[in-house]
């Protein structure tokens, strides 16, 4: 898996500061549209955000052999000309234009680069505005492509004519003014194709789920211990989308307190009461899929739950999870109480397919000794 090794070991290009929130919001929605497009094919894929470039498409989530890089840039009006495409970014330690940054991806992954794509909401003035995805070499208006090659080679002397042919322009169909509405429509259409028009789901909830997943991946650290860890942290895959679609197909009711209350006999009465109160509060909070703080703490709790499959009582599990996540969770949600963490843990355990196998109240005594 030579590409997998390169992905784990190749340093990322230095970034010129925090990405603007509005620009990332558009970028994430365009990445989502790319995911929906790829999912309509039969091939595996992984779409990563803020990893080597704005968006990167891998041809496999387990054994990739090619990469497509995307610079996603927006403008309020007008069109792209050669000058802004090759304008050097003075904020970078090593100034590079948009095209230069794309070529830098080629230098890092020259044996695996399938295409170098510039994506925008406005057209390029020397390309056909009626074509949404085309190579820069498709320009029929002389001498624009020759000028394109000349300027690219001036900035990047290693560029050849064959490499120039990897550069493409993609005209996004997402409006800059209201990309949410257009993306929401794409999701409704996608779910109808995959599941049927009678699917029962909340489009805005699924839209927020997709958006939140891209936000979390963009902010995640980049692990280098394995390709699987890297993909899980930074990319959305076919498997991820299938899991989300399955949740729509088999829509489950949220966990109920009465499903678990009878198993909490080892909790002191005052603690039982406090956890119940926090449970009621949390069942409302968890419905807000835009609450990034809650989403991050949920991830911590789920990871802790995976480590306590051998514990035999809820008291042990709750104590283990609180001890495992409390310190980090309180950096995300200050003043988070142990009772709130216990309520969250109970909810996530019941909501998750990896719910620990808890000893029930009517179990035989000899089972507890095993």
CA distance 333 to 138: 52
pLDDT recorded at residue 310:
78
DSSP SS3 for 80: strand
pLDDT recorded at residue 100:
93
pLDDT recorded at residue 252:
54
CA distance 76 to 57: 26
Closest-CA residue to 95 (of 16, 30, 28, 21): 16
Beta 53-58 vs 46-51: how paired, if at all?
antiparallel
pLDDT recorded at residue 286:
75
Q: What is the mean pLDDT of each run of 10 residues along the chain (370 residues)?
A: 81 59 81 95 93 94 96 93 88 79 94 97 93 90 87 93 95 88 88 79 73 81 87 92 80 76 89 94 72 86 86 88 95 94 91 46 37
pLDDT recorded at residue 14:
57
pLDDT recorded at residue 366:
37
Please provide the size of the chain in residues: 370
Q: Residue 341 contacts by C-beta under 8 Å, 6 or more apart in sequence?
A: 301, 321, 322, 325, 326, 329
């Amino acid at each position: 898996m030579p590409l997998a090794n390169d992905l784990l070991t190749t340093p990322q290009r230095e970034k010129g500061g925090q990405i603007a929130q509005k620009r990332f919001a558009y970028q994430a929605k365009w990445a989502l549209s790319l995911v929906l497009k790829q999912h309509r094919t039969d091939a595996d894929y992984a779409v990563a955000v803020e990893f080597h470039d704005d968006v990167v498409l891998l041809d496999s989530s387990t054994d990739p052999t090619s990469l497509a890089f995307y610079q996603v840039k927006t403008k309020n009006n007008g069109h792209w000309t050669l000058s802004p495409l090759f304008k050097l970014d003075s904020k970078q330690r090593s100034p590079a234009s948009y095209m230069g940054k794309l070529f830098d991806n080629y230098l890092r992954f020259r044996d695996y680069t399938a295409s170098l794509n510039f994506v925008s909401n406005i057209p390029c003035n020397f390309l056909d505005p009626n074509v949404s995805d085309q190579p820069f070499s498709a320009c029929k208006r002389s001498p624009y492509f020759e000028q394109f090659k000349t300027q690219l080679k001036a900035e990047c002397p290693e560029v050849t004519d064959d490499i120039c042919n990897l550069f493409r322009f993609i005209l996004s169909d997402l409006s800059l003014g209201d990309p949410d509405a257009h993306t929401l429509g794409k999701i409704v259409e996608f779910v109808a194709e995959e599941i049927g028009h009678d699917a029962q789901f909340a489009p805005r909830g699924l839209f927020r789920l997709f958006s939140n997943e891209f936000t979390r991946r963009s902010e995640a650290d980049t692990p280098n211990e394995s390709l699987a860890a890297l993909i899980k942290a930074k990319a959305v895959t076919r498997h991820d989308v299938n899991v989300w679609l399955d949740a729509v197909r088999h829509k489950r009711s949220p966990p109920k307190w009465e499903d678990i209350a009878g198993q909490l006999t080892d909790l002191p009465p005052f603690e039982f009461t406090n956890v119940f109160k926090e449970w009621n509060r949390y069942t409302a909070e968890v419905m807000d899929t835009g609450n990034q703080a809650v989403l991050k703490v949920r991830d911590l709790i789920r990871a802790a739950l995976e480590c306590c499959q051998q514990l035999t009582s809820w008291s042990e599990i709750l104590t283990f999870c609180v001890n495992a996540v409390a310190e980090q969770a309180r950096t995300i949600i200050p003043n988070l109480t142990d009772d709130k963490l216990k309520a969250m843990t109970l909810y996530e355990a019941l909501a998750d397919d990896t719910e620990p196998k808890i000893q029930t109240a009517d179990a035989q005594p000899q089972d507890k000794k095993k």
